[in-house]
Chains A and B, each alone.
Chain A
Amino acid sequence: MSDATAKTDLQISYVRDQMLPEQAAPAVNRGPIGWMREKLFPSIPQTILTLVCIYVLYLIIPPIIQFFLIDAVWFGEDRAACTTEAQGGVQPPDWFGACWAYVGDYANQFIYGRYPDESQWRVNIVWLMFFGGLVPLLMPSAPFKRENIVFMVLVFPIATLILLTGGNFDVRGLYLPLALVTGLALLVAYGFARGSQSDPMPALKATAIVCASFFVVITLIGFDFGLERVQTSVWGGLLVTMVIAVTGIAASLPIGIALALGRRSDMPIVRFFCVVFIEFWRGVPLITVLFMSSVMLPLFLPEGVTFDKLLRALIGVALFSSAYMAEVVRGGLQALPKGQYEGAMALGLNWGQMMRMIILPQALKLVIPGIVNTFIGLFKDTTLVLIIGLFDFLGQIQSSYSDPSWASPVQSLTGYFFACIVYFLFCFGMSRYSMYMEERLDTSQRN
């Protein structure tokens, strides 16, 4: 004890008793050099790997830039601009570059297909409505969300249908069945309301409003706006791609939710139908579904009833993607803790209220990445309709190769590269947006 005291008295310490000021890391460990040492050349095998990768990049990137930017032809009238002299053009003998002049010449077809020139303003309005309605809907800070949703769900589809086809459908036969259904629906609504001894008026009112809006819709699409009828057989390009993708997305979400709920229902017959439906559509390739809808579906319809080819493809795509959507939604429903259901029941909510207000908002939020993945898959799958003879964006590009006025060895590479850019922008954009939404909606239930 005394020794120790003596030592402290002497104030000699062998260990430093103050902190040294912080010093910067050695030069080799910071800045770009340090970063490269750590991330690119930490060991000999890693260095070899890095060098191999750099060599691969060297092999890939310069030729691509050379082909698509430096040697590319940007302006020209016909194939002469994009062929070498030996092939009948103006380019030097060993020229090999992209032919953007051809893409520019075909741009109109790639967007509208063979849609008549004098009616293309109708398509432009649809594009405008679509993006004008979608962009504020996707921005969380934009105001008027409710009005926006109403516009996109109610106004946009009907306006699109009328604008694109020309409207003026023969709907006279629909009024009588609709009147009958309305009567029946009112009766059922009244019956349920009376059964529960509550005021029947709200249910009746809601039913009446729904039926009345159907009347309005039918009248609208039967009304002659003086627009020329454009058959779907001349639609093409990005227009068809977007029609199929948007219809598929719009139809698959509600049908998929219904199927998912049905699959988890307690009613055995409902569950059985839903399971069979989902497993069947998920077990077969989309191509066979499209074949089925194009060659088999007409056989199932009574004589004289014919569906448009595009409409048949739409039905096939919608059924197919709703089966996938159902499984995604089921995942979300299963992931919710049981307490959420029990809490909703404890509040005395009925099944519909529980699903609408408690379960589905949470379940759907949980599976946003899955839903967007299904959307992306659906968007990519729209290309398959070219196999049953519809000209979507890729189909239009593919068919443009048969035009002799632009035929050249570089034509197909240019066209495919252009298709790659367009599809990549859409799909990559969607996936980035889903990541952003996921982050925004994250209530940190996950770790």
Chain B
Amino acid sequence: MAVTDIAPGGPSPHGQEEAPPKVALLNNPKVRSWLFQIVLGVVVAYLVYAGWVNMNANLQAAGVASGFGFLDENAGFSVAQSLIEYDQGTSSYGRVYVVGVLNTLVVAFIGIILATVIGFIVGIARLSNNWIVSRLATAYVEFLRNLPLLLQIFIWYFGVLRLLPGPRESFDFGPLGLLNNRGYFAPKPVWGDGSIVILVALIAGLAIAFGVSRWAHKRQMATGERFPAFWVGFGAIVGLPLLAFVAMGAPLTFDVPEMGGFRPSGGMTVIPEFIALLVALSTYTAAFIAEIVRAGILGISRGQSEAAHALGLRQGQNLRLVIIPQALRIIIPPLTSQYLNLTKNSSLAVAIAYPELTSVFAGTALNQTGQAVEIISITMLTYLTFSLLTSAFMNWYNARVALVER
């Protein structure tokens, strides 16, 4: 830590009575360190200043008006997928930005969930005693980890989804929708009258589950008796809405897509770009998460399992109550970086034109407006914000589960 105190030829602290040895000003570590820092600061400030001046001169020469006024202008290009209302004719670049951010968040959010699930399964499978299971998991990790993500996205998009049959010969999963080279046509829920009751029941179920788990925890702390809070909560969350569903006379129906003349009608369309990106991102990240999970579980000393067994815990309880909670402490910090990586890697969508932030904003919008500085800065700052928010949240969670020692 305190390493810089020792500068070349620096004075060593002598006794207080002795006069400090005479040292040239240049060799006083304090002076030297400040001199160095001032030089560094001046150089950086100069570079920033020179870049700023050059940029203004260049922009003026190119006739590009700087500023953020372009955000209100009409964008005038179409976007293949949008969570909010977007209209090619009237929507502005500002709205394009919001559409892009939302699309990034959607793919990142679903991707994180999928990657975590696959990653945990594969990570635990690698530790399986079953030879073939562990070998398969190892092969999965080694292959996906050692191939570029962009190549994997291309393979899914151009190699797999594009080779699916056209809409006329699409794979028909019956009530689950259609799959063809235009994407996945999923059934769309249609909420009838009284479906609000289901929502209310769901919220009530969540509240009950939360209350029961608090109470069960308190009781266990006080008496040591365990209560099957998980199953009660599960029952409340699933059962109450189900009950409401039946009581209200099944107000929820699904609009199942059907094959029309040219393209499937009804339902909701999941565009192939989204599928390709989601599959590639989540399987790729899952390979890294699997390694993290494996390392986390291996990091728990064998004595913990042995002690748990000695106490009479069954294998499942041992995993759930002893191993996983401790392994999480090791797993969470690197898991956070994987979540961040996944979010950042979603920017590779620009290669297959899934309309996320980089693709529509730093791609199409930049090409149309030429506002390079503004657009790239906004894009970078957005990703930076995502990163900082994710790390802040995961750090908070990490602090909650961290080992409290003395």
Contacts and interface: CB of A to CB of B under 8 A. Distances in A.
Interface stretch (A80-88, A215-223, A276-284): A276-284
B61 interface: yes
A387 B351 contact: yes
Interface string A229-251: 00000000000000000000000
B379 interface: yes
A196 B27 contact: yes
A200 interface: no
B91 interface: no
B110 interface: no
Nearest to B135: A53
Interface string B140-159: 00110111111100110011
Contacts of B59: 299
B376 A291 contact: yes
A292 B381 CA distance: 12
Contacts of B376: 288, 291-292, 295-296
Given A267-B33, A288-B379, A416 B362 contact: no
B159 A412 contact: yes
B129 A39 contact: yes
Given A269-B37, A380-B148, A423-B146, A282 B387 contact: yes
A230 B57 CA distance: 32
Given A267-B33, A387-B351, A394 B372 contact: no
Contact of A191 (B26, B40, B44): B26
B19 interface: no
B91 to A, nearest CB: 23
B344 A285 contact: yes
Interface stretch (A70-78, A117-125, A307-315, A347-355): A347-355
A399 interface: no
A20 B107 CA distance: 67
A186 interface: no
A284 B380 contact: yes
A213 interface: no
Interface string B31-72: 001001110110010000011001101110100000000000
Interface string B378-406: 01100110011000000000000000000
B151 A383 contact: yes
B154 A398 contact: yes
B358 A427 contact: no
Interface residues of A, number: 73
B321 to A, nearest CB: 22
User: By DSSP majority rule, is chain B's interface helix, strand, loop, or mixed?
Assistant: helix
Interface string B150-173: 110011001100110000000000
B373 interface: yes
B4 A39 contact: no
Interface stretch (B5-13, B113-121, B207-215): B5-13
B221 interface: no
Contacts of B1: 264, 338, 341
Contacts of A264: 1, 3
B6 A354 contact: yes
B36 A267 contact: yes
B80 interface: no
Contacts of A351: 3-4, 6-8
A376 interface: yes
Interface in A82-122: none
Contacts of B380: 284, 288, 292
A299 B372 contact: yes
Nearest to A41: B130
A349 B23 CA distance: 18
B350 interface: yes
Contacts of A39: 129-132
A69 interface: no
Nearest to B26: A195
B146 A50 contact: no
Given A194-B24, A195-B24, A351-B3, A424 B146 contact: yes
Given A267-B4, A351-B3, A424 B58 contact: no
25 contacts: A39-B129, A42-B129, A42-B130, A50-B133, A57-B132, A57-B136, A192-B27, A266-B3, A267-B4, A283-B383, A284-B383, A285-B358, A288-B358, A291-B366, A295-B376, A300-B51, A300-B54, A302-B57, A303-B58, A338-B1, A354-B3, A386-B150, A394-B154, A420-B147, A424-B146
Nearest 7 CB-CB pairs, A to B? A196-B9, A195-B24, A427-B146, A283-B387, A39-B131, A300-B51, A285-B344
Interface of B: 1-10, 23-24, 26-27, 33, 36-38, 40-41, 44, 50-51, 54-55, 57-59, 61, 129-133, 136, 142-143, 145-151, 154-155, 158-159, 162-163, 340, 344-345, 347-348, 350-351, 358, 362, 366, 372-373, 376, 379-380, 383-384, 387-388
Given A266-B33, A295-B366, 18 more contacts: A39-B129, A53-B130, A195-B9, A195-B26, A266-B5, A270-B36, A285-B358, A288-B379, A296-B372, A299-B54, A300-B55, A350-B10, A354-B6, A394-B154, A409-B163, A416-B151, A423-B147, A424-B143
